[in-house]
Amino acid sequence: MTSPVDNVLSRLERPRERQRGQWSARCPAHDDRSPSLSVRETDDGRVLLHCYSGCSTAQVLGALGLDLADLFPPRERAPGAGAAPERRRRLLTAGQALELLDAEALLVASSAATLAAGHALTDDDRDRLLTASARVAVLRDEVRA
Ligand SMILES: [Zn+2]
């Protein structure tokens, strides 16, 4: 199985490794002439994306055809799973949950800006907003667990 960072890098145009675990590439979310996108792999296998021209993570992911979940390594399966039902394990750290929440909040804010500017939301935008609210609900349950 490919790691999250390999998956992201495979979709970028000629990413260049700047140092170990850190790459730069042309940002797919805007007309990028210089490599504005920084890609970093954290010690625990997550991928951090940052566009120095100001694209949001959600915009970059959209341009790559990826989802937020694609930035996180697959959950570890407990060895011997399938026997007695185990105590539920937490899927995310609080920090990861907040990071995801932040991305969903950005999406909501950008939809609000679209509406405030007098534009209508597309069906896709509406679907994505519903997904955002569902995700926030998942995060809430996750943190409560
Ligand atoms: Zn960008």
Ligand 1 ion: residues within 5 Å (CB): 27, 29-30, 51, 53, 55
List of residues 6+ apart from 52 with CB closer than 8 A: 36, 37, 38
- 77 Cα to the center of ligand 1, angstroms: 35
Assessment of whether the complete model's pTM goes beyond 0.75: no
Confidence band for 88, pLDDT divided at 50, 70 and 90: low
Alpha carbon distance 70, 65 (integer Å): 10
| Burial status of residue 30 (CB atoms within 10 A of its CB: 0-12, 13-18, 19 or more) | middle
- The residue type found at 108 is V
Cβ–Cβ under 8 Å, residues 45 and 74? no
Dig out the tokens for 120 from the structure: 């209508």
If residue 37 lies in a helix (H) or strand (E), which one and from where to where?
strand 37-41
Confidence band for 78, pLDDT divided at 50, 70 and 90: low
